[in-house]
Every structure is written in C-alpha cells, then in structure tokens.
Amino acid sequence: MIDGVIIKSIKRHEDPRGWLCEVFRQDELDPVHLPVMGYVSVTAPGVVRGPHEHREQTDLFGFLGPSDFKICLWDRRTGSNTYGNYFEVIAGESNRLTVIVPPGVVHGYKNIGAVSGTVLNFANRLYRGEGGKGDIDEIRHEDDPNSEFVIE
C-alpha cells in the first residue's frame, strides 16, 4: 500500500427501482479530504487517463462500473514511509471502490473492460482555483515520453 491512500469498498443497494451507492459521507472523511467540486468522466475501453499527480489537491474517486479499471499509484513523496512504492488495484463493476489519492502520489487508470466506464471524482480543491482563473495543479507525467510512470 501507499501511506495516505484510502481504499474503501462501496456497497450497492438494490431494489425493484434500480440501485444506489454511497460514494462518500462527511462523517466518514477527514476534513482535509472534503470535496469542493465534483465531476464525472467516461473512459472508452483500452484508454488510459494519467498518470499525473497534484501538488496540493486530494482526489476522491468513485469506481462503480459499468466497466473495470486498473488503477496505478506511485508514491513520490520523499518524506513518506512508502516513498517509491507502487500499488495497483482493479476497481469498477467487479469491485466497486472509492480511492482517495493525496498530493504527491502519481495516479492514473486504464479501462480494462469491454465497455465505456464511468468514474466519479470529488476533489478538495477547485480546478484552476476560484473562478477557474488560476494555475492547474497537475504534473502531467503522461505528456513525458520518457516518464518512469507507465500504465500498461
């Protein structure tokens, strides 16, 4: 594992109307992780998003399906007990999870299923800051052809 990364199973509640899952609850989150914004992305089969990392932002991802994703995490925080560690987990339809990724942990995922998959993200920082006018808090390793961080 990687210090500060939190992985939690998501329980699916079904009835004749359909289903629902609680992605996060304020009473279960450290205040530093409380989201200030959220978004939904759809990723086609075989597509990789990332890897990148944030300087200040914590991401709270929800992987619910309908596809599965290989999530890859690398700890680049020099003061961390798990500095240099790599961790991988499968999440989505077969293993519904939330994954909290703190700043300094490189992260990305690949849709390994046969259909497009939906990912929820609830960040504790506003994208590009107040009013969307600030800098982007990302180090995009996916833009570096010589990056050591590769998702196969």
Q: Can you name the CATH fold of 6-127+136-142?
A: Jelly Rolls (2.60.120)
List average pLDDT for each run of 10 residues in the chain, which is 152 residues long: 95 94 93 95 98 97 96 97 98 97 98 98 92 91 95 94
Res 130: pLDDT: 87
Q: Kindly write down the DSSP assignment for every residue of 34-56, as one continuous string.
A: --SEEEEEEE-TT-EEEEEE-SS
* Whole-prediction pTM: 0.93
Res 129: pLDDT: 84
Cis peptide bond prior to 103, omega within 30° of 0: no
